[in-house]
Amino acid sequence: MWLELMQGVAAGAALLTLPGSWSLARWTWAARRPAVSPHLAPVTEQILILVPAHNEAASLPKTLSALVAQAQADGRCHVLVIADHCTDDTAQVARAHGAMVLERQANERGKGHALAAAFALLPDVPWYLIVDADSTLDPHFLAVLRCKMAEQPDGIQARYAPHCASGDMNAPLKHWALQAFNVIRPRGRSALGEGVGLLGNGFALSNATLRRVPYRAGSIVEDLEYQLSLARANCKLAWLEDVAVYGEMPQGEHAKAQRQRWEGGRLAMMRSNLWPLIQGIGRGETQLWPALQDLLLLPLSQHALLLLLACSTGGWPLILGALGILVLIAHAAMALFELPRVMRCRAVLAAPMYIVWKIMQLPHIVRSSRSGASWQRSVRHIEQEKA
């Protein structure tokens, strides 16, 4: 009886991991060469940089000092801070640093609702660039972005890298994880001719796209929610690897809370969108395949756990599990070897404890996936220093 139960668990785990392993294999193989964008003549159209901000008075000075200077140097770019339900002096700080401000107090709060309100209220411009309030751009970001816009994509997602605070012992591991999720996967999808996913920061949307697919995304994973809307409308996001946006990564308990919310939100999106996507593909909407593959791939720690369960007995589950582990190792290795050499050893040493920690978070992640889970702002490092 016990053996039959274990064989059933192994078979179920093998089948659950099969779509994710296939996707990882395709994307990893396609991502073996860095993406190079063609050098087209840059567009001269106006760009409006939107900075959603909820009580960001502490982090905005650093962000806006560089961002406003870059916009002024560009000459056809302006910065607007969306002060969303702020109880501090976010709006005053933004104006003092040369940004325009849209103050918002009505209706629901959260990044998705703030962006939706801004797109509905602001005058039309050809392109919008969304940058988080704790982020900085590469010095030539706007110039390179304008060249990518010349390809006339529906939208653009730039490389999103972590800006880890000094003294963050987990910085190498964070770089490794985000290199896999934020670079290897979109690079591979782009090389295969698929639209890439939204990463929530450093992405641009054209006015034409927003008219075709109005921004309505109010969940705790608003980027994934809008990404699915774009897929249904057959809109593709182009990949821009040449330049990056750098965002702060939470630490300690704040990192744990953010991870639980994010992965719980993805589970909720999977639960509500999996069957509709399958139905759409059955009707011939083949552009939904990449979105379905993205949803079916669990976070890598959960994927690894299921692969180990698949290998716990013999037969075909063991074969599928072993192949999946080889794919996972190749994917992780590609991301690892793109890190600076000094980070690699520390990242590998920290990985086992991180996987155990992630598995221990599963009950909290499932709880976060419940209907009605609310958006919460991540605490910034500068605020922790001042506390």
Number of domains the chain is built from: 2
216 and 86 fall within a common domain: yes
117 and 6 fall within a common domain: no
Exposure string of 110-121, with b = 16+ CB inside 10 Å and e = fewer, is bbbbbbbbbbee
206, part of any domain: yes
163 and 64 fall within a common domain: yes
104, part of any domain: yes
Whichever domain contains 146, its CATH number is 3.90.550.10
The domain of 11 spans 2-32+287-370
Exposure string of 183-222, with b = 16+ CB inside 10 Å and e = fewer, is bbbbbbbbbeebbbbbbbbbbbbbbebbeebebebbbbbb
Distance CA(285)–CA(351), nearest Å, equals: 39
pLDDT confidence of residue 387: 46
204 and 149 Cβ atoms separated by less than 8 Å = yes
381, part of any domain: no
Residue 9: closest CA among 342, 318, 299 = 318
108 and 198 fall within a common domain: yes
Instruction: Collect the ranges in the chain with pLDDT lower than 70.
Output: 1, 164-169, 250-260, 364-387
Supply the DSSP symbol for 54: S
167 and 251 fall within a common domain: yes
Instruction: Tell me how crowded residue 359 is: count the other CB atoms within 10 A of its CB.
Output: 12
71 and 28 fall within a common domain: no
142, part of any domain: yes
Question: Residue 252, exposed/middle/buried by CB under 10 A (0-12, 13-18, 19+)?
Answer: exposed
pLDDT confidence of residue 40: 82
Tens digit of pLDDT for each residue in 366-377? 666 665 555 555
Residue 291: closest CA among 304, 308, 309, 273 = 273
Torsions phi, psi of 36, nearest 5?
A: -125, 120
306 and 218 fall within a common domain: no
Q: Which amino acid is at 304?
A: A
Distance CA(111)–CA(61), nearest Å, equals: 19
| Residue 192 C-beta-side C-alpha neighbours within 13 Å | 22
Continuous H helices in the chain: 2-30, 60-74, 90-96, 111-121, 141-149, 171-179, 185-191, 207-212, 222-232, 252-282, 289-296, 300-310, 315-336, 341-360, 362-368, 381-386
pLDDT confidence of residue 251: 64
Torsions phi, psi of 380, nearest 5?
A: -85, 155
51 and 85 fall within a common domain: yes
The full DSSP string for 5-43 is HHHHHHHHHHHHHHHHHHHHHHHHHHTTS------PPPP
Distance CA(154)–CA(264), nearest Å, equals: 28
79 and 175 fall within a common domain: yes
Distance CA(198)–CA(225), nearest Å, equals: 9
221 and 321 fall within a common domain: no
- Residue in the block written with tokens 């009580």: 55
Structural tokens at position 65: 């000092």
86 and 132 fall within a common domain: yes
78 and 215 fall within a common domain: yes
Tens digit of pLDDT for each residue in 331-352? 999 999 988 888 899 888 888 8
Torsions phi, psi of 89, nearest 5?
A: -100, 40
Distance CA(327)–CA(329), nearest Å, equals: 5
